[in-house]
A and B are shown apart, each in its own frame.
Chain A
Amino acid sequence: MLKNSVGGKIAAAWLGLVVFFAIFGPLLPIAKVGQTFNDGLHVKPFTNCSFMGPLAHDLSPTSSVQDEDLSSTPETTIAVDVDTSPSPETVPTDTTPTGGITDKDGFTIEIPPPDLTSDTVVDAQQQEQDRLDLLASTQTSKRCFFLGSTNEGIDILSAMVNGSRTSLSISLISVFLGGLIGCLLGITSAYLRGWFDRVMLLIFNIILSIPTLVLAFALIAIFATPLRPDEAVADSRRIQVLIASLVIVIIPQLGRIARAAALQWINRDFVTASRSIGASNFSILTKRIIPNVVPSIFAILFLALGTIIVVEGSLSLLGVGLNNGNSWGSLLARNSGDLVDYPHVIYVPVIVIAFTIISTNKLGDLIRASLDQREAKI
Chain B
Amino acid sequence: MKKLRPILLRLSQVCLVLIGATFLVSVLIRQLPGDVAVLINPAASLAERAALRQELGLDRNYFSAYWMWLSQMLQGDFGFFIFGGKVLPVLKTAIPPTLQLIFYTQIVALTIAIPLGITSAYKQGTRFDRTISTTLFSISSIPNFGIGLILSLLIGVKIGILPPSGYRPISEGLIQHFRLMVLPVMTLAIAPISTYTRLLRAEMIAALREDYVLLAMSKGLSDRRILLRHVLRPSCTTLMTSAALSMGGLIGGALVIEIIFVIPGMGTQLAKAIGTREFMAIQTYVAFIALFYVTFNSVVDILIGVVDPRTRNRRA
On A, residues with C-beta under 8 Å from B are 70, 72-73, 76-77, 80, 83-84, 108-110, 202-203, 205-214, 217-219, 221-223, 225-229, 306, 309-310, 313-314, 317-320, 332, 336, 339-340, 343, 346-347, 349-350, 353-354, 357-358, 361-362
- Chain A residues contacting B253 (CB-CB under 8 Å) are 213
Q: How far is the CB of A368 from chain B (nearest CB, A)?
A: 12
Q: How far is the CB of A257 from chain B (nearest CB, A)?
A: 13
Contact (Cβ within 8 A) A358 B286: no
7 closest A-B pairs by CB: A213-B252, A83-B275, A350-B146, A206-B20, A221-B274, A211-B248, A354-B142
CB-nearest residue of chain A to B24: A206
Question: Could you give, for residues 256-281 of chain B, a 1 whenever the CB lies within 8 Å of some chain A CB and a 0 otherwise?
Answer: 10011110000000111011110000
Bound form: Cα–Cα A262–B293 in Å: 27
* Contact (A210, B286) CB under 8 Å given A72-B262, A225-B33, A350-B149: yes
B137, CB-defined interface residue at 8 Å: yes
Q: How far is the CB of A1 from chain B (nearest CB, A)?
A: 18
* Contact (A339, B153) CB under 8 Å given A108-B275, A206-B17, A314-B252: yes
- Chain A residues contacting B259 (CB-CB under 8 Å) are 76-77, 80, 317-318
- Chain B residues contacting A221 (CB-CB under 8 Å) are 274-275, 282
Bound form: Cα–Cα A356–B289 in Å: 30
Determine the main DSSP class of A at the interface with B: helix
Contact (Cβ within 8 A) A317 B274: no
On B, residues with C-beta under 8 Å from A are 13, 16-18, 20-21, 24-25, 28-29, 31-34, 83, 137-138, 141-146, 149-150, 152-153, 156-157, 164-166, 247-249, 251-253, 255-256, 259-262, 270-272, 274-277, 282, 286, 289-290, 293-294
- Chain A residues contacting B262 (CB-CB under 8 Å) are 72-73, 76
26 of the cross-chain contacts (CB-CB < 8 Å) are: A70-B156, A72-B164, A73-B261, A73-B262, A84-B274, A202-B16, A205-B13, A207-B24, A210-B25, A210-B289, A212-B248, A212-B249, A212-B252, A213-B251, A214-B251, A214-B286, A218-B274, A218-B282, A222-B31, A318-B255, A340-B157, A343-B153, A350-B143, A354-B143, A358-B138, A358-B141
CB-nearest residue of chain B to A213: B252
- Chain B residues contacting A358 (CB-CB under 8 Å) are 137-138, 141
Bound form: Cα–Cα A208–B16 in Å: 13
Q: How far is the CB of A150 from chain B (nearest CB, A)?
A: 15
- Chain B residues contacting A347 (CB-CB under 8 Å) are 150
Contact (Cβ within 8 A) A202 B17: yes
* Contact (A310, B17) CB under 8 Å given A83-B276, A222-B28: no
Q: How far is the CB of A74 from chain B (nearest CB, A)?
A: 10
Contact (Cβ within 8 A) B153 A340: yes
Contact (Cβ within 8 A) B150 A202: no
Q: How far is the CB of B56 from chain A (nearest CB, A)?
A: 17
CB-nearest residue of chain A to B273: A221
- Chain B residues contacting A206 (CB-CB under 8 Å) are 17, 20-21, 24
Contact (Cβ within 8 A) B276 A214: no
